[in-house]
Amino acid sequence: MRRKITLVFLAFMGIIALSGIPQIAGVFADELTDDGWEYTDRGYLLVSPNRLRYGTLEPGSNYTETFMAYNIGDQPISFKLSAEPFWVEDETYAPIYSEATNRTKISNWITFPNATEYTLAPRNQEGDRVEITVRVKVPSDAVGGGQYAAVMANIIPPDADANSFQARSRIALPLYSTINGDVIYRGKIVNRSISGFSFAPIIRTSSTIENTGNADFEAKYHLLIKSFFGSKTAYDDTQEKIILPETKRIFEHSWEDAPALGIFNVTQEITYVNENGEQVTDSYKRVTILCPLWLILVILTIVVLAVIAITYQKKSRNIKHKKSSWEQG
């Protein structure tokens, strides 16, 4: 009796172990995506596009790009432009705008030829938007490889103390570029996983790509989930992320609206630049089971009760058999 209950309990614990507890109970880090690098408060200022991409720049040459700034509030807004280093912190890619490195020298090459300070009228009025020109003057001795900066629109509230927190509110527009020269595109996948079991109605995948070159490249993540029986597509989503040189980037790709119960074939496809500098696609597949904890507990209870009932029934039969033998004797 005790042995059977113990085996059932161990089986139950095995299910939990195989489910990958960290993936179920762990909280995935929130990531600031490439379409919304934000320092503090956007206020009522909106910029478009969400990043500036200069492509390949030649040493000794000048380049310009433009972006639009919009006042989406009901009051006038003033802001001042500046250029600062742009980098990221650890694998979560939280943005850093204060640390200058060899990869952020371009922040010193940026100027704003038209103006550095603007005041926009309230939305839907004349003067509620402006086109801003950003000029990059590349030194003749610039070294080949990626260079990154952020164009900052520092919001200036009316009659605000220049040292106040509100006066320091700003929006960051990341700038990506590559200086022509000895440019190396190279990377590798260092980690990837798909949750094999989940108590919650969610299927999670995770992958980490390391850029071992000196210029950024784009990675494409394709998550395809099909029903185990019938192969009907349940979820299909593709995301693209920039991998900066000499960094690792972790990306969690999830189906947040999965059903509470089900079995699915999960395919994770990642397109990236490998260690040979070639663009390749790696595919990883796994079967994922979704089952709420309460249902497992109900099944476990039924199994335990069934074991107890069977054991009790066997004991009753043995007692009757012994009694019958004694009476006949």
pLDDT tens column, 204-230: 999 999 999 999 999 999 999 999 987
The CATH code of domain 45-179 reads 2.60.40.10
What is residue 108's three-state secondary structure?
helix
Domain layout of the chain by residue ranges: 45-179, 185-290
Query: How does pLDDT run across 27-37, given as a tens digit for each residue?
Result: 222 233 343 34
- Phi/psi class of residue 44: alpha, beta or left (left: φ > 0; alpha: ψ in -120 to 50)? alpha
Q: List beta partners, residue 273.
A: 279
Q: Please tell me the predicted confidence (pLDDT) of residue 68.
A: 96
Query: How does pLDDT run across 169-206, given as a tens digit for each residue?
Result: 889 999 999 999 999 999 999 999 999 998 899 999 99
Q: How far is the C-alpha of 79 from the C-alpha of 118, rounded, in Å? A: 6
Per-10-residue mean pLDDT for the chain, 329 residues long? 45 42 27 37 78 94 96 92 95 91 97 96 95 98 97 82 56 95 97 92 96 97 93 94 97 93 95 97 95 74 79 71 56
Residue 96 neighbours by CB under 8 Å, 6+ apart: 85, 86, 87, 88, 89
Topology adopted by domain 185-290: Immunoglobulin-like (2.60.40)
Q: How far is the C-alpha of 45 from the C-alpha of 119, rounded, in Å? A: 11
| Burial category of 297 from C-beta neighbours within 10 Å (exposed 0-12, middle 13-18, buried 19 and up) | exposed
* Cα angle 305, 310, 316; round to 5: 125
* Fold agreement between 45-179 and 185-290: yes
